Every structure is written in structure tokens, then in C-alpha cells.
A and B are shown apart, each in its own frame.
Chain A
């Protein structure tokens, strides 16, 4: 009897979390999937319309725009954050005296909500009152930095602000990874006469593989959920130049009273997310087993 209990305990301990997630995450996903095939407008309603919402969704230029923007934003954001984070971590790992001061400076943006930091960025990027204006006043009259007002470049300003917010966190992850590298391996390489750059390229960075995975997971989820940032910085504009699927979905579900279309866009987003993450998770968890 006691043994049975002993055997059951772990599962009992895990089950509340598991069922909470099953219900509040997967249950709600199923529910959203159902809504996406109904004629819901302002509130959920249950008139079945099949795949109509999906058809209408794919006819909207607004939606295609959001997807394109996400592709540009997501790729740049993840790549730049990773590169910058790794670089900052390597630099900070060079016996820097002021490390204790610099580290929180790199990290703090993660602690701020974008409700207002967005305004600060908006002003800073604004050519009339921000950086461009200041540099003009310093005497460089031809300097131009008006990306936030330019519909072809505005999405990059979203990347700049987003990188600002999360690259410090990525830096911390890499720094932790670097500090965990076994010194023996490096010593051996140094004895073989390898240069520092070569040691980093051939030995240390490849050892960071798990950090790259964690960074990717964290960044990908932030990219897909990016909402506050866009709303605070550009409001989706100029025109619709910085609309992302998350802003699209919110707008259709809650402000345009087209909940059915909003739900169908949410389902497409989830399909995209899962189709990127599941294979990745699968291979990683598999790999973990064989080690």
C-alpha cells in the first residue's frame, strides 16, 4: 500500500499543473479553434460558418502584411539579439573591471514594461525631436535618421527597440554559459598554440549550443507575442507598415468586433508557432535522452 502511494506521489504532484495547462492552454486553444469557425462578432456566438473566416482572412491585405512583417521582424530580432548578446557576453568575460556595473545596465531593460518605454523610444527615434534633431544641433546638418516615419524602414525601428529590451537577457544567458565552460579544454587548446579567436570559434561557441536553444525559445516566443512594443512605438503605422499578427489578432477580435476572423488568425499563428517549435523540441528532448 505504502509502496503504491510512493509510486503515485510524483504523478499526483505533477497532475495539478498538467491539468491546469491542459485546460487553460489546450482547452482554450480548442475553444478558439471552434470560435474561428463561427460567426462570432462582438461576443462569442455559435453559428457555424465552416472555413469562411479563414477564406476572408487570407483575402485581407492587412493580414498578409502582418505575416510579412513578422517574418522580417522575427528573423532580425532573433539573429541580432543572439549575436549582440553573445558578443556582449564574450566582451564582458574578458576580466572587465566594471563588470558589476555594466551587467545591470545591460539587463535592466527587461525589467521595464513597454507602456512608457515605448514613448521614450518613440521620441528618441522621432526625427523632429530625437536623435536626428540632436545631431543636427551638434552641427552635422545632413544627418538623417527618419526610419520610424518611413514605411519601408519603420519595422526596423521596432527591431531596434525590441533588441534593446531583450538582448541583455540573452547576454546574461551566454555569460552564464561561458562561465560554465571547462577550463581544462581551453588550456589544452592553448598549449596546442591556438589563438584566442580560434579558441572561441572552434571550441567555446560550439559548446554554447544549449544556450542557443534556450535563447531561441525565449526570443521566438517574445517575437510572436510582440504586441505592447508595436502599439507603444508605432501603433502599427505608418500606414500598416508595422502591423504584426499579434496586433492584427487583437484588433480584429476586440476593436473591430470580428471575433471569428480574429480567432482564425490566432489559430494560424498557433500553427506557425507549433510548426517551428515542436520539431525543435522533439530533437532536443530526443538528444537529451541518448546522452
Chain B
């Protein structure tokens, strides 16, 4: 009897209430994020200082781990407890999912006053707005289809940066002949998927859109997809046997030390190269994944603004406005390796790769070839993303043939769609 009543009571109370109960007297924002490593956190400190100068105190709630996975778990616990933070660092579809739950606030007032609609790339607005209302403030745009090549290894392999798949294969072959690990890679699902993004994109922007964003069964199950998986197998053959589980930055270290030829990774990898004292153009070369020039797959960190009590909306708006200010966008992204989330920020402070990234972003935005990255949760919701991870990673580890992978992929996505 007691058990039953307890359960009933529990089921009754467990309905999610999203009202924030916190009553803080002073103006403050509570920020949940996972930027805890040196550079990132220091960059975020710029924002904190800026807000403090406007009389808003910053309550810091960092929860690192797994690209924000831990933070998202913590967020769920907090929202369920009725204790939602003011702003939460979030990626892609997570923002829209929370918006669907009705948990997010409204930034239209700030956005209209500052003209966000005209400066934020269109593809990015897809995640910053829900139902036509601004719900979050984008901090940066990472693009994921980069290749980082050791200059010395490239010189030894002919010196010309590859511009097509065939040229890439030729360079990789040459590097392998020269006794290097041609491709430095870490065998973690998200890293495998990051390469997969670029490979799919290299088979055509239409194909990327159809398969990764529209999840069109014909594209997912077609011959081009088999080709994509074949290319993954080909790339796998250039990776050393010791790759699985390796952190991405250890893979970068292999390129930095000249043990490996290149790494395919998002622009955050640049930080590792810079930290090791390397200079873009001199010690390492940054190019778009061959065959994807002109197109960009991105992921963007945003601060989603939660519905908070009236006493906290003021500081929340101040924070949103501070995030979107060109000075902060520039300061933050120079440190972070990414590019600003608005296209009108001056590029003076950025290095060569950063400048190139900004130009590419603007071009891709105007030509409509700026796509959300599947690997980083900007092409499809989490369930689909992870279904893709499962298949890509199993194929990359040799558990599935390309043909089987294609069949699995279509089935796996269908199962969670």
C-alpha cells in the first residue's frame, strides 16, 4: 500500500515545472557552461568582466565533460528541480529541444534593437531562433571541415596542398612512403564522425544536405553513401593502428612533432598548434577538406537564455547584448580558434587561418553552402547524431563493410527519427 501511494505521489509531483524559484536580490546571471580549460575559460572571463562593469555579477556553474554531455545532464536536473540557470552554453538541436519544452526566454527586444537578423549567418539563425523568436545568443562559429597539415611533411610530399580527393590520396600515399603516419587521428566516435562529415560534404553539397540534414532515405541508402564509407576505409588505411581512444589533441601533437602528416579536425585544433609555438603558413598549413572548398560545416556555441523571473530578465538581456558585441566576439574567438558569429566583425586580431575562416564563413553564408555539422549536433537531433556515430565508428573500426554500414545507417536513423 505504502509503495503504491509513494509511487503515485511521485508520479504526481514529477511533472516538470519550469518556473525559476530563485530570488536573488542583486542583479546577477547564473551561467552553466563547460568551458573550463585555460584558454576558453580565460576568454569567457572577458564576458564576465564586461558584465561586472555594468553591475551584473556572474555566478559561475562550470560542468565539463564529453563536449557538454555532463552539463546537459546537470541542466536537466536543475530544470527539473525548478532551478534553471539564467544562461546555458548549448549546441545546435539541444537549443531547439529546450525551446520546444517552452523552457527558453525571449530575446526579441535586444535582437531587434541591435539588428541581429542582418549580421548573424542565416544557417546560424536556425538555431538561435525558434518560432521566429530569438532564444539564444551565439558566441562563435566553429567550422569542422579543416585539415591541419605539417608544413615539413607537406614539403616532403611535393609541397602542394591537395585540392581534390585524388590529390589528397596522392599526398597521403607520399607521406606514408616517407615513413610518417600519414593521418593523425583519434578513434573516438565524435572524431570519426567529424571526418565523416567532411567526406560526405566532399561528395557534394547537395548530397550532404540530402543525407545529413534532410535525412532523405534515398541519399542515406544510395551508392554515394557507399562511396563515402569507402573513402572512410581509405582514410582509415592511413591511420596508425594505435589510434583508438586517442584524444584529439594527442593526434594534433603527432602532427606538431612531425610524426604525422596531417589531421582532420575542427578549428579548435589550431589552439594546440599555436600553443606549441607554431606559426600558420610557416610550420603548419590549414586547408579545407579537399573537395569541400566553398562549403563550410559548422557548429556554434550559443548561450541559450532560460525563462527566468522578471527580476532576472534585465541582467539576462544585458548578457545577451554583451555576447553579441563585436568586441567580445573578436576577443573571444581569437582565443578560442573559432570565428565570430556575426559577419561584420573586423578581422584585424585574427591570424591567417582565422581570417580565412571568416572569409569562408561569409562566402558560404551568401552562397547557401553553410551547413550544420552532423558530428557536432547541428545537422540533426541528438538521437540521430548518435545513431550516425554508432554506424560510422563501427565501420571505421572494421566491424562493418561499406555496404553493411549503408544499410545500418538507413535503418538506425529510421529507428530513432
Contacts and interface: CB of A to CB of B under 8 A. Distances in A.
Direct touch of chains A and B (CB < 8 A): yes
Interface of A: 19, 22-23, 26-28, 30-31, 34, 41-44, 46, 56, 59-60, 62, 122, 126-128, 146, 148-149, 151, 154, 231, 234-241, 251, 254-258
Contact of B397 (A122, A127, A148, A239): A239
Interface in B236-267: 240-246
Nearest to A44: B14
A127 B245 CA distance: 12
A26 B7 CA distance: 8
B351 interface: no
B307 to A, nearest CB: 14
A263 B244 CA distance: 30
B187 A43 contact: no
Interface of B (DSSP majority class) = helix
A235 B188 contact: yes
A27 B245 contact: no
Given A30-B3, A31-B10, A251 B397 contact: no
A213 to B, nearest CB: 27
A254 B394 contact: no
Contact of B6 (A22, A43, A59): A22
Nearest to B411: A59
B24 interface: no
A46 B246 CA distance: 41
A122 B7 CA distance: 42
A46 B10 CA distance: 13
B189 A237 contact: yes
Given A237-B244, A254-B73, A42 B10 contact: no
Given A22-B6, A46-B15, A146-B241, 18 more contacts: A27-B3, A27-B10, A41-B97, A42-B76, A43-B16, A44-B80, A126-B246, A127-B242, A151-B397, A235-B189, A236-B189, A237-B187, A237-B188, A240-B393, A251-B386, A255-B72, A257-B381, A258-B416
A236 B393 CA distance: 11
A254 B69 contact: yes
A62 to B, nearest CB: 6
Nearest to B188: A235
A148 B243 CA distance: 10
A151 B245 CA distance: 11
B53 interface: no
Contact of B393 (A46, A154, A237): A237
A137 B110 CA distance: 62
Interface string B378-401: 000111001000100110111100
Given A30-B3, A31-B14, A122 B382 contact: no
B179 interface: no
Given A43-B79, A43-B80, A59-B415, A237 B3 contact: no
